[in-house]
Structure 1
Amino acid sequence: MAERKLIAGHAVRRVRRQLGLTQAAMATALDISPSYLNLVERNQRPISATLLVRLAERFDFDARTLAASEPGGGAAAMRRRLADPMFADLDIDRGELEEWLASAPGGAEAFARAFDSRGAAGPGLDDGHDRVAREVRRAIEHWRNHFPDLDAAAEALADELRLASGDLGQAIAERLRIRHQLSVRILPVEVMPDRLKRLDLHARQLQLSELLDPASRIFAMAERLAGEVQGEVDAIVRGAGLSDRVAERLLRRHVTGYFAAAVMMPYARFLRACEATGYDIELLQRRFGAGFEQVAHRLTTLQRVGARGLPFFMLRVDRAGQVSKRYAGASVSPLVEGGLCPLWDVFAALARPGELVTQLVESEDGGRWLTMARSVQPHAGPLGGVRGRFAVAIGVAAGEAGGLAAARGIDLAGRAMPIGLGCTACTRVDCSQRSAPPAGRARIVSDREAGMTPFAFGGD
């Protein structure tokens, strides 16, 4: 919380305006000077613990909203958006950005929503699903995909389960039986042909398909334990202020899954293992009995104050280049936003099942990122049936990747593959892979010469 106090002035200002108070009136109620409150609201002074207590006591202020209410998801999320090539000539520095967030949080939030709408749907493609997905993603980004109360509760529960049994799956099943009056049944595919899991409250059973691998079975059982933190889950969903029940259910599913992953990979133990192994994903999978995608997602959540992991981002992509998951975490990489570049080896992972594909890439803003991608198949299927395949990619800034197991043998200061955010957003010239000119640039067609690509284009 200490780091986030520095950019919490907008939250205090919002409370004051909602109550219809002047700065002088609120300052009197808080036993501080109006000038000090003015500095707090302008983010020129931190919010002390004493001031937080007074806000809570006198204005029913929930301090947890400081972590969840920063406009546009906070400075890191806004920097990712501003890394788009369309803003390259504006040269907005960190100081300007923080001043914007402090002085005009509503305007910053409006910009973030408009930008996200543009990036998620594309011109003319917006629909109800896109809107819901953007809402849920914005709610997750407000928390930077880190929910401290859930992590703390999951750690305490994981310790209890370890004392009960050395087998996590057995310990969870026993707790479900005793505490929740739920038995766990593994059913053959012919009995449950179109479902992977089902909660049968009449029979008091959690029914799981035999198609699920061991890690997915444990995850599905751990999700049911989220009922023990129902109050925290409800508070997160309610605080997001989503527009409809579909969005609320999607966010609840995400938060419940977050808790399940935190039970499987308790924060402190998982972070120690990451640091001891150089974030070796295969070793982490084996040590915690988790799947590749589960570990990759967990890496984006390691943002506990005083015990932070490396700032990874994560994407999940299908063979058509459609992104079904985007988690930025604390990363400021522009690669988590917008379109995909065919020169990025995330697609090569789809053709090399089971292999971790590592690549050093450079985005148009000059940022360098070490990325790792691997193909995943969520579950087996009936013989002859369609089985999904995706590529899960994670990345971290090259300057922070020196200690990674995946970086061994890679010159992080050497040549990196130049990539963009999709052809229509990329302004790199003479790219032989280009499939379209950048949006807003005039296409140049010549009868007398041809360059590396037929999609030559002019300047601004």
Structure 2
Amino acid sequence: MPQRKTFVGPRLRQLRRDRKESQAEMARQLGLSPAYVNLLENNQRSLSVQVLVRLSEAYGVDWRDLVQDDATTALADLRNALQDPVFGDDTPDLQELRAALDHSPKFAHSFLELHKSYQSLGERLLSLGGGGASDAERIATASPEAVVHDLFRKHRNHFDLLERAAADFRHDEPIDADEMYSYLKLRLKRDLGIQVSSVPVTALPQTLRYYDQKTGEIQLSEGLDHPNRVFQLTHVAGLLKYRETIDKIISTANILDPRAQARCRVELANYFAAAVLMPYAQFLSEAKGCRYDLDRLALRFGVSFEQACHRVTTLQREGALGVPFFFLRIDKAGNVTKRFNATTFHLAEYGGACPRWDIHLSFRTPGRILPQFVEMPDGSRYFTVNRTVDRPSLGYDTQDQRLAVTLGCAIAHAGELIYASRFHLDEPELFTPIGINCRLCPRQNCAQRAHQPLHLDLPIDERRRGQTRFES
């Protein structure tokens, strides 16, 4: 297999500017000609191993920071941002966008940050309840949940460090799903000196799992079913045994807020747990073999439906890619309680989802998968599967605490999913027009509109009554 060439022009140019050096000065440091440095900065020459070593030695930089390739994600984010209706129809083509990333990466990054702030402001306005200093703080500072989403989005929902930690934990042992609970109890005792006990619901009021550091004991509520008991034990194993690995990811992302760090730590430990219970290569093979039949995958690996949904969103290892998915979970009121994204689909943090999306309808058909083809206001099309998931029941007063989840992918990948097999994908009437939510959706003449959009004025004609009071 031919080696992939490494181009680092924009990063090299920025490194030189940060040091306030000319191309000739950098050339002397690296033992190169100024003309060759110029070619490197303009991506007209690839970076050799020898030059990479000289850069690391001369400038004290980590070579991995220079060769980190986030161009694919940045290009997708740039294309997605420019599809916003606020920019109209005359948008740059793919070649122009690539040129912007190659020659003006800081400008492109600043543009993306500005557009992200524009979207976030609209979403955060939805969350404000009554003024005051706390509201101002919420606008100025991203919520811990938003920090988690952005961290996972930046990594395209895939963390190679955690995948390797999971492989290290398992030691390539062929562990049957039925034996995993006993295996984890043994490993926790052997590796960390931790005992595991199952306790009545009344012994852990409003709590599903508690780790007592003083006694070295994990208490699991009897309200947890078997898959979730296994998951909780694996989560704690990752949180304790691979704490340094998890904290390295958080530190590299420059996440400083303690609350955001704590939320990221929890979600990264969840990622580790999923990687242990559903090993990457085996899970990807099974997923492709059954065409992403989520019930089959859950049974095969002894996990819940929701855990299988989470795992398929992480199959983004270079050279072993699965379908890129987004994942969204809501409660009965439409509040977003979890979101992960390996696609260009924009998931709102606040305000629920579009009422025309069948994720809401799934509450009327518990446990049944509802496939749906949707089209966003920018014309992008996706295939989604929607279903309810049950929460642990701790007694009479906590029954029926269902949530609803949706798993979606770009329409180009729909044919790889078993749920789309009975549809003819070229039929335009298949697609339901949806938006992010009413306050952010520019669609006119929508019978489900509940609010005026924040960023534009819909026409008002007192002589006409449309399908809703917001349309005339």
TM range (shorter): 0.7 to 0.9
Which 10-residue stretch deviates more, 297-306 or 121-130? Answer: 121-130
Higher mean C-alpha deviation, range 348-357 or range 415-424: 415-424
CA positional deviation for 1:150: 1.4
Alignment match, 2:114: 111
Q: How many residues align?
A: 454
User: Per-residue deviation at 1:13?
Assistant: 4.3
Q: 2:149: which partner in 1?
A: 137
d(CA) in 2 for partners of 1:56 and 1:271? 36
CA distance, structure 1, for counterparts of residue 320 and residue 160 of structure 2: 12
2:16–2:26 CA contact under 8 A, matched in 1: yes
Once the two structures are superposed, the pairs formed by residues 276-425 of structure 1 within 5 Å of their partners are 276-329=289-342, 331-334=343-346, 340-385=353-398, 388-414=401-427, 415=429, 416-425=431-440
Question: What is the CA-CA distance between 1:431 and the residue it aligns to?
Answer: 1.8
Secondary structure (helix, strand or coil) at the match of 2:202 reads coil
- Indicate which of 202, 208, 217 corresponds to 1:196: 208
Q: SS at 1:401's partner residue?
A: helix
TM-score, length of structure 2 as denominator length: 0.86
**Cα separation, 1, equivalents of 2:405 and 2:6:** 34
The worse-fitting range, judged by mean Cα deviation, of 426-435 and 269-278 is 426-435
After superposition, where does 1:69-84 map in structure 2 within 5 Å? 74-84=74-84
What is the CA–CA distance in structure 1 between the aligned matches of 2:321 and 2:237, rounded to whole Å? 26
What whole-Å deviation, never above 9, does each CA across 1:59-105 have from its counterpart, x for those lacking one?
34335546879599622233333333223334133333333344142
Normalising by structure 1, we get a TM-score of: 0.88
CA drift of 1:21 comes to 3.9
Aligned ranges for residues 1-400 of structure 1 at < 5 Å? 9-41=9-41, 46-65=46-65, 74-102=74-102, 103-105=104-106, 106-108=109-111, 110-122=113-125, 125=128, 127-128=137-138, 130-162=142-174, 167-226=179-238, 227-329=240-342, 331-334=343-346, 340-385=353-398, 388-400=401-413
Q: Distance in 1 between matches of 2:49 and 2:414?
A: 35
Question: 1:203: Cα distance to partner?
Answer: 1.6
- Aligned-partner Cα distance in 1 for 2:67–2:182: 35
CA distance in 2, matches of 1:390, 1:179: 36
- Structure 1 229/52 Cα, relative in aligned 2: closer, same or farther at 3 Å? farther
Q: Deviations over 1:166-221 (max 9, x none)?
A: 71222121111111111111111111112211111222111111111212111111
Does the 8 Å CA contact 1:5/1:66 hold for their aligned counterparts? no
Deviations 1:226-253 (A, max 9, x none): 2333332221111111232111111111
Q: Describe the shift of the 1:165–1:411 C-alpha distance in structure 2 as closer, same or farther (beyond 3 A).
A: closer
Residue 50 of structure 1 and its aligned partner are, at CA, apart by: 4.7
Q: Are the equivalent residues in 1 in contact too, given 2:166–2:272 (CA < 8 A)?
A: yes
Which deviates the most, 136-145 or 350-359? 136-145
Q: d(CA) in 2 for partners of 1:68 and 1:113?
A: 22
Q: Deviations over 1:136-166 (max 9, x none)?
A: 3322222122111211221243344436997
CA contact (8 A) 1:120 1:134 kept: no
Superposed displacement of residue 107, structure 1: 1.8
- Asked whether 1:455 is paired with 2:470, we answer yes
Structure 1: 5+ residue stretches without partners:
none
Asked if the contact 1:345/1:373 (under 8 Å) is kept, the reply is yes
How much has 1:119 moved relative to structure 2?
4.6
Offset at residue 311 of structure 1 (A): 0.8
Please state whether the residue corresponding to 1:388 is helix, strand or coil: coil
Structure 1 residue aligned with 2:444, among 429, 445, 449? Answer: 429
Cα 1:31–1:191, aligned 2, differ >3 Å: closer, same or farther? same
Name the CA shift for 1:445/1:166 in 2 (closer, same or farther; >3 Å).
closer
CA deviation after TM superposition for structure 1 residue 387, in Å: 5.3
The amino acid of 2:366's aligned partner reads P
Cα distance in 2, alignment partners of residues 118 and 37 from structure 1: 42
In 2, the alpha carbon distance for the partners of 1:332 and 1:38 equals 34
* Residue identity opposite 2:25 in structure 1: A
* Identical amino acids, percent of aligned pairs: 35
Task: Provide closer, same or farther for how the CA distance between residues 278 and 175 of structure 1 changes in structure 2, counting only shifts above 3 A.
Answer: same
Counterpart-to-counterpart distance in 2, 1:247 and 1:43:
37
Q: Letter of the aligned partner of 2:411 in structure 1?
A: A
| Distance of 2:67 and 2:366 partners within structure 1 | 39
Contact 1:85 1:425 in 2 (8 A): no
Worse overlay, 369-378 or 158-167: 158-167
Deviates more, 1:390-399 or 1:225-234: 225-234
Instruction: Rate the CA distance shift 1:91–1:211 in 2: closer, same or farther, 3 A.
Output: same
Structure 2 residue matching 1:366: 3-state secondary structure: coil
What's the RMSD between the two structures over aligned residues? 3.0
Letter in 2 for 1:107: S
Q: CA deviation at 1:255?
A: 1.3
Contact kept? 2:24, 2:34, Cα under 8 Å: yes
Q: For residue 419 of structure 1, report the CA deviation from its aligned partner.
A: 1.3
Displacement of 1:404 in angstroms is 1.1
| Aligned-pair CA distance for 1:18 | 4.3
2:359 is paired with a residue of what secondary structure?
A: coil
Structure 1 residue 222 displacement after superposition: 1.0
